[in-house]
Amino acid sequence: MKLNFVFFFSEMASHIVGYPRMGPKRELKFALESFWDKKSSAEDLQKVAADLRSAIWKQMADAGIKYIPSNTFSYYDQVLDATSMLGAVPSRYGWNGGEIGFDTYFSMARGNASVPAMEMTKWFDTNYHFIVPELGPDVNFSYASHKAVDEYKEAKSLGVDTVPILVGPVSYLLLSKPAKGVEKTFSLLSLLPKILPIYKEVISELKAAGASWIQFDEPTLVLDLDSHQLQAFTAAYADLESALSGLNVLIETYFADLTTEAYKTLVGLKGVTAYGLDLVRGTQTIDLVKAGFPEGKYLFAGVVDGRNIWANDLASSLNTLQQLEAIVGKDKLVVSTSCSLLHTAVDLVNETKLDDEIKSWLAFAAQKVVEVNALAKALAGQKDEAFFAANDAAQASRKSSPRVTNEAVQKAAAALKGSDHRRATNVSARLDAQQKKLNLPVLPTTTIGSFPQTLELRRVRREFKANKISENDYVKAIKEEIKKVVDLQEELDIDVLVHGEPERNDMVEYFGEQLSGFAFTVNGWVQSYGSRCVKPPIIYGDVSRPKPMTVFWSSTAQSMTQRPMKGMLTGPVTILNWSFVRNDQPRFETCYQIALAIKDEVEDLEKAGINVIQIDEAALREGLPLRKSEHTFYLKWAVHSFRITNCGVQDTTQIHTHMCYSNFNDIIHSIIDMDADVITIENSRSDEKLLSVFREGVKYGAGIGPGVYDIHSPRIPSTEEIADRINKMLAVLETNILWVNPDCGLKTRKYAEVKPALNNMVAAAKLLRTQLASAK
C-alpha cells in the first residue's frame, strides 16, 4: 500500500543525518531478543523492522523534511552492515558466499557456541558501539548484502524518495583492524582498490532503482589524519566519480571540527555535490567555510544537535544559517542535524512524568526533526513566529530557573582546584596493607558487579516504582536476590564478592535518581549496541548527594558473608559521559560536582565496614576528545575527578575501578595516574590488545584484571581457554598483581550461561595457582 506523502515544504531544504532504530518503546530490542531466544521467527523480526522504518519515513515526510535518510536502520550496527555488504566475513564463521543471512550476521556480532564474536568498540567518542571489521590481504570481498538498495526500494514503494546512506569506503577501512595473523603494520588503506568495485555495484543498483542522492558517511575526516590518509579520500572518490555520475553526492562528517587540511581534501573531492558539517561540536568549522566554499556546491549545515536533548536555540541557529547563506547561496544551504539522531532519545511526547518546566527545555529526536524544518522554513521566509517565541521563552526559563544553581555546590567545586587529591601512601604500600587485611590468594577471582537481571527481578522493581507493592515487600525481595547471588558466589568459590546490583536497572540511572540536579525519563531510551539500550539521565543543574545511596544494600550484602564484599559505585566521569549533560557550563565543572557527591558515598561505605569499593570508570576513554591537541586537558580533569572520589580513604580500603570496550593503550599512563589499587578492564574480545602495552615495557604496579572472557556473547568459554588467557597475562604481568575476572558486568546474560562460565573461570584460576605453587 502506498502512503503517498506530500511534501508541502519541498522548497525548504532540510535534512536528517540518521534516526534512532529501536522505536519509541524499544520495539526492535524486544523483537531481537525474542528472535535470539528462538521465540519468534526471522519473518516476525523483519515485520517489526519494516513497521519501524515505515513509521520513521512517514514521520519525517509529515514534518516536511526534504532529504530523508534510508539505510540508517540496522539490526546491530551500521559498520557491521557495511562488512556484510562487502562480504568481509572472517573465515571462522563458515560463510560460503551468497547473501548474508541472520545466522552469519549475528554470529559476527554476538559469537555462537563454537566461535567468539568480532571485537566491539566505541563509535568515536559516543556510548554507541560498533563491530570492528577484521581485514587482511587475503579477504575475498564480494557484494553480499543488498540491504541499502532493498531499503531504498522499500521506502520508494511507500511513496518516499530517500537519500540512501553508506559508510564511506575510506572511513570503513580506517575503522577496521588487521585480522588475526595479519601483520599489525599491514596498510588497511591498500584494500581500497578491492572494495571500491563493490561500492560501484551498490551505486549502480541505487541509480537503477531511481535514487537521485546518495550520502557517504566519512566521519574519520574529523580525526588527526596524515597526508597519506587524506590522499586516500581523494583517490577513492576520483575512482568512484564515473560511477557516481548522474547522482547528487553528499559527504557527511560529524562529531568535531575538520582540520584545514581535511577541509581542503573534503571540498576538493571529485564527483561530490554536497558537504555535511557538524556545526555544534565543530565550533571552528564555520571559519573554514567563511574562508572559502566551492561555488555551486551544497552545504548541509548541522546546526541542530544530534547528541544531546536540549531544545535548539532557534534564534542563534537562524543567525548562523543566515551568515552561511550569504556565503554559499540561498538555494545551496540545507538545514541539518549535526549527526545522526541515533544518539538521542526518540520522542518527548512519550514522557508523561517530566515536569512542564524541564520538559520545555528539551527536544528528543522527533522534536529535532521539527526544529530542522522550522529553521528551514524561517530561512525561506516562512518563519513560524509562535514556535520561535515559545523557544525563546524556554531558553530564558532555563537560564533563570533557581533549580539550576546551587551556590554551595559551586563553591565546593571551585575549591578543588588547589589540590591534585592523591592518596598519601603509594600504591605498593597500600596493596601490602590491604593484603594483610583481606588475605586473598594468588590470582584472586571476582566479577565486575552486576548479575543477571531476571524477569522476576525486573517485575519487582517495576511494581515498586508503580506503587503496586510496599517498600517492605520490595526490600524483602531484593534481599532475597542478594542472598541468592552471594550464595552462588560462595558456592563457586569466588574470592571477592559483589551483591549483584538487583536494585539497579542501570548503573548511571540508579545514581542519578538519588542525586540532585538530575531529571529522568520514562521512555528516553538510547541504543548502546545490538539490543542493549540505556536511558541516560538528564543533568540540568548543579549536582549534590542529599543522602547515602548504596550503603544499606552493600552493608546488607556484607552481613551475609565472611568474604570481602565490594561496594559498587559509578565514577563521576562515567556518570557524566553516560548522561545528557547540561550545555550551559564546561563539562569539567559538572564532573567535579559529581566527584564530590561520589566522594561522600565512598567515605560512608568505608565507615560502614566495606573494605573493597569499586568506582567504575567504564566511560573514561570514551570521553577522550577526537583531536589529540585536546587530550591533555580532558585527561587532566577526568583523572583528577576520579582521584577526588577516594582521596580520603584509609590505606587498608582497596579501591577498584573498571573500564570496558575502548582502546586503552593510548591512555595507559593516565590510567596509571588514576592511582586505583586494582583496575579491571576489557581484554578478551579485543584479542588481548591491552596486553601489548605491557609487552612494550609499560610498568604497572597496581592490581590489574584484564577480562578473561567476553560477557557480551552467550558463548561459554572452557577452563582451558581461560587458563590460556591467564597464562598470556602472566607472561607480561607480575603474579602478585594479577586478578581473574570477566570482561564486564553480567546483567545481560542468563544464569544458564553465567554459572558454567564463572565455574570455569574459578577452575582456571585454581589450576594456575597449583601450577605456580609447584613451579616454586
What's the CA gap between 765 and 61, in Å, rounded? Answer: 58
- Residue among 710, 754, 680 nearest 492 (CA): 754
Strand 248-252, strand 213-217: pairing: parallel
Q: Which residue has the cell 587498608?
A: 652
Which of 15, 129, 499, 712 is flagged as catalytic?
A: 712
Known binding-site residue numbers for L-methionine: 448-450, 501, 616
**Backbone torsions φ then ψ of 497, nearest 5 degrees:** -95, 165
Known binding-site residue numbers for Zn(2+): 658, 660, 669, 673, 682, 744
Residue 150 grid coordinates = 532493498
Residue 147 grid coordinates = 540491504
What's the CA gap between 703 and 29, in Å, rounded? Answer: 37
- Residue among 697, 718, 694 nearest 706 (CA): 694
Strand 274-278, strand 703-706: pairing: unpaired
Contact 679, 658 (CB under 8 A): yes
Strand partners, 749: none
Residue 597 grid coordinates = 557527591
Known binding-site residue numbers for 5-methyltetrahydropteroyltri-L-glutamate: 29, 127, 532-533, 578
Cβ neighbours around 98 below 10 Å, total: 10
> Angle between the 192-209 and 227-244 helix axes, to the nearest 10 degrees?
30
Cα–Cα distance list, 548 to 365, 569, 607, 694 (Å)? 35, 12, 12, 39
Residue 346 grid coordinates = 526518540
Known binding-site residue numbers: 29, 127, 448-450, 501, 532-533, 578, 616, 658, 660, 669, 673, 682, 744
Known binding-site residue numbers for L-homocysteine: 448-450, 616
Strand partners, 581: 539
Contact 747, 453 (CB under 8 A): yes
What's the CA gap between 63 and 58, in Å, rounded? Answer: 8
Burial 202-228 (b: 16+ CB within 10 A, else e): bbebbbeeebebbbbbbbbbbbebeee
Q: Is 712 a catalytic residue?
A: yes
Strand 120-122, strand 129-131: pairing: antiparallel
Catalytic residues: 712
